[in-house]
A and B are shown apart, each in its own frame.
Chain A
């Protein structure tokens, strides 16, 4: 009996003698939070795509502070990011008005929603929602790191959280709303992500990245078209993505777009919808029924809200694209001119 009691005591003594292990783990945790704060939040070491998100928010806050009211703002994904040059569009706009390309890589309606409160504050004359075929056919949920950025930099103020939150999924809402300190945990992927993005994209000679994060006119320019083999591989991948998406996913996207339209309508801001150009290579392979469904959904959405819908999906020939879906220089110029005219017309009609 005595021996077994002694043994129990020895066992616990053994556990206590390795107590430096949890202590070091705690110290590492503390060091982590400190380092992540200084590296990511203060030093802004993050992939350029995420840094742009922060810069868009800061830009909108600046516009609001400087009372730069009445301009035109484009929201979209990488197709828009690479696809338009706002300097070309500005030439067609009424005097004094400017347009801004606020596209974010991979962004769909849920991400646009996060920018809505900041946009509302500057009362634009027009918001252009540029939906792309591959994005709109599936559920473009907001990635965790995007939500962490929106949470930390307060994209959605507390007073608007209920309105915006109604269109977010439960996961998105919880992540956006969680304790700020926990967002730092998500930021841990940024430094290595920044290195990866730098090596993969920023340092490439066939891409122009200067001012990418703070360029809201023509953020990203490709200098070379990618090979046909690579384009075809991309298209195969895109088609696979589209295949696994369901009509319910698309319905959710359209519902969020309706939410954005309602949100801006209440603030007296006009909205138009654009279906972005689709590479004919992708267009021929994609299910035509699906494409019609997208076009009909957006037409109906515009019709129900009495707003304009510009279907640019068949605008550009294959050689005007840099890859499976992003317009190349010639495509960018043509699409910008077409969009400029369309927006000019819309603004004139609104003035009438």
Chain B
């Protein structure tokens, strides 16, 4: 079930009314859990068993961990949780990819034996909920989280519908305590939640879905296109993927807020970053912190040996790339980002400007120098990330090579009208890219558009609702499009 469908509107209105009517906390939890399962089963009822399986394993492992102090037993229990969750993920997401790769290798070396593949449909959101569930058992193992006694509460933590299929990835330490409170609907929460939902819908439906045809028509078939078109394609894709994913996160956070739950922020103006290190701290924050806390930090030597730290960083980033999709291009994307991060660490690029003492006054020349340096650093960061998106978005090797070549060696061919991009409405897309830049700047100045709307008076709010609803009706895409991150 997609957020932008009438079915979802019916679901969310029913859940709000249901929650308002239900008087006991336990029933509220069960009701929200049922709604979450219905939300997921709308897509594929059979795959609900995977969520239930993951939930049950981690619920019992968490409680078993709470009952024993024996180190060996605890390690075995944690291993059971990791194997179960990663086993699910490997089977449904990576099995066919690795088998196909082995089969290709066998064929190219002259062999004829072929390993069987599963050909199963990728369960939506599996990468998100397995990570979320697993983080609970790791936190219980580390003593950061008490085992959860209520199965309904734990199941809701794993499957809470607003963030179930594309994050943000919740931590048990953040979210489980919130599930102990009775849900009381409050007008300020409902309104603030609605503002976040509205902001997310604009990002997704007005910007991402309207510019995606241009990115698709350029990057699905880049051969023969000149450099300016390739650049437009990559910039469009960069904005599309940000608006798509950040839009989903905003909607998820807004829906959570309506019930009084705080879902953590997932994007913090990533495209204003001045290094890839900073970008990675602002982009999909709940995944990057998850990888930092549960993978990078757990690898031996990350905090003690610089060389091992670089190696671990590379391992983390390659796995992060593969988390995004079962394909060698995603692994390449991760390796590329890992290499850039290592270079930034080695050269100190990510630490430029940090050496200044607090309160130290800048001379006007220093201020200008800093501004220019910031612009240069921002430009370099954007160039590097756009180059990285080639691995992420362009799938075949010849196309990756062609696109990278045209991106790096600019050919100054500026005839836009003749490249068969008419169906993608390129000028509409470019206009919306401009709108994105303006909205993004306002959002940055106002510390978030939804927060700005929260602070408006009722008349101003009504005017904004009217304008945004009009924009949504005018620009609502004709074809329903899923969120890009669903495939991850």
Contact = CB atoms under 8 A, between A and B. Distances in A.
Interface in A185-200: 186, 188-189, 191-193, 195-196, 199-200
Contacts of A29: 469, 473
12 contacts: A4-B24, A10-B185, A13-B187, A14-B184, A25-B469, A28-B466, A28-B473, A192-B425, A196-B428, A200-B427, A230-B415, A232-B224
Contacts of A25: 465, 469
Nearest to B20: A11
B20 A20 contact: no
Contact of A192 (B21, B431, B461, B473): B431
Nearest first, the 10 closest Cβ-Cβ pairs linking A and B are A11-B20, A28-B469, A233-B224, A4-B23, A24-B465, A199-B427, A17-B187, A226-B418, A14-B185, A11-B185
Contacts of B187: 13-14, 17-18
Nearest to B429: A196
Interface residues of B, number: 44
A210 interface: no
A216 to B, nearest CB: 23
Interface string B185-224: 1110111001000000000000000000000000001011
B475 A192 contact: yes
Interface string A206-237: 11000000000000000000110110111011
A16 B223 CA distance: 56
A290 interface: no
A94 B186 CA distance: 81
Contact of B420 (A12, A20, A32, A237): A237
A284 interface: no
Contact of A323 (B224, B418, B431): B418
A193 B221 CA distance: 23
A196 B426 contact: yes
Interface of B: 16-17, 19-21, 23-24, 182, 184-187, 189-191, 194, 221, 223-225, 415-420, 422, 425-428, 431, 458, 461-462, 465-466, 469-470, 473-476, 478
A7 interface: yes
A87 B99 CA distance: 65
Given A21-B465, A24-B466, A200-B426, 15 more contacts: A4-B23, A4-B24, A5-B23, A10-B184, A14-B185, A14-B190, A15-B16, A28-B466, A191-B474, A192-B425, A196-B427, A227-B418, A230-B418, A236-B221, A240-B221
A227 B475 CA distance: 34
Task: Indicate the member of A188, A192, A240 with the most B CB atoms within 10 Å.
Answer: A192
A204 B414 CA distance: 13
B185 A188 contact: no
B417 A206 contact: yes
Given A195-B427, A226-B418, A18 B473 contact: no
Give the dominant DSSP class at A's interface: helix
B224 A236 contact: yes
A1 B427 CA distance: 61
Nearest to B21: A8
A204 B417 contact: yes
B52 to A, nearest CB: 30
Nearest to B222: A233
A25 B472 CA distance: 10
Contact of A24 (B417, B418, B419, B462): B462
A76 to B, nearest CB: 18
A235 to B, nearest CB: 10
A144 interface: yes
A7 B475 contact: no
B470 A32 contact: yes
B258 to A, nearest CB: 10
Contacts of B182: 7
A201 interface: yes
Contacts of A24: 462, 465-466, 469
A30 B238 CA distance: 35
B332 to A, nearest CB: 25
A189 B423 CA distance: 13
Given A8-B23, A200-B417, A230-B418, A14 B428 contact: no
Contacts of A201: 417, 422
A71 to B, nearest CB: 32
A36 to B, nearest CB: 8
Contacts of A188: 473-476
A31 interface: yes
A27 interface: yes
B143 to A, nearest CB: 36
Nearest to B465: A24
B224 A15 contact: no
Contacts of B426: 196, 200
A261 B221 CA distance: 39
Contacts of B17: 15
Contacts of B417: 200-201, 204, 206-207
Contacts of A10: 184-185
Contact of B194 (A18, A27, A189, A192): A18
A222 B30 CA distance: 66
Nearest to B422: A200
Contacts of A191: 474
B473 A189 contact: no
Contacts of A226: 415, 418
